[in-house]
Structure 1
Amino acid sequence: MILGHAAYIGPSGHRAGRRLLGRLYLARFGRPMPPIRIGARGKPRFVGGGVHFSISHTKGHVFCVLSPYPVGLDAELSTRQIPPRLAEKILSPGEFSQYAQAENPEEALREFWVLKEAGAKATGQGLTGYPRDTDFTLGNTIKSHGCTVAIIRRRHHAV
């Protein structure tokens, strides 16, 4: 698995993400990345398969991961506040218990948010009906470049 980061200026995190993806692919495989197609559920994939990727951008930062397995990545600025009213809507009972007991509930909710977004990207199903069907544990994110980052990789999957 390869993780990359780049700072960008301007409105297009999407474009910055694709550029970073191209650079990572070239560095890893020594050739330009293959074309990208959008799957039935909206998840982007390389034509020909074999290598999976995920991109996330947030206010001036873009992250990208390449993996041999389906992968999801999400990043948020560590200063971004997730509205506390969302906790009951998106957290499973186990997650809500961790959130309620957290020393810093604001940070805990942000961690769960990026974990859920990354998980939804890894499965390709999006967030509809997904958020409360998971049971993540706090402490499974990383801090990088002022952002909270989650990477979820699925080893066993059906295509």
Structure 2
Amino acid sequence: MSKKEFVINPLGYVRHNGTGFYLELLEKYAGASRGLEGFNYINVLWWANLTDGNEYRAILECEQPYKGAPEKVGVFATRSPGRPNPISLSSVNVLSLEKGKIHVAYIDAEDGTPIIDIKPYHPSLDRIRDVKVPDWCSHWPKWYEDSAVFNWEAEFISAR
């Protein structure tokens, strides 16, 4: 098998201006958001640029990241930004659209984070009725909306 390289170019950047979050699209991609009106959630794929280094890409296992989790957890069982390819996914609530900007309620990415793709959230494709998770995270919220009031800080083990 031959080695392949992939080129991913940013479509725009996550912005936080102190009062809110928005996705700022590069001018050449501004028209790509046409038709998103009516969708109140989108999936945003973004490049975890702050953890894009060889030391982060070499992380395959994490020391117990969550309380109650096994002592070691493979990175694919976490949402950690340190991973072989620093691609992250966030489902976000769309507040409003304007040319070249998608205003969102919140996104767990830093200001200036490159956006690599946007897809509409669609229940027939993205929602799954019977989801199974390990016991150590089974008490986490079942719905995105409940996550806002869940005490996530209590779930993580502080740096050792």
TM-score for both structures, normalised by structure 2: 0.27
Relative contact order (alpha carbons < 8 A, sep ≥ 6): 1 or 2 greater? 2
More helix by percentage: 1
TM superposition score normalised by structure 1: 0.27
In our comparison, the structure showing a higher alpha carbon Rg is: 2
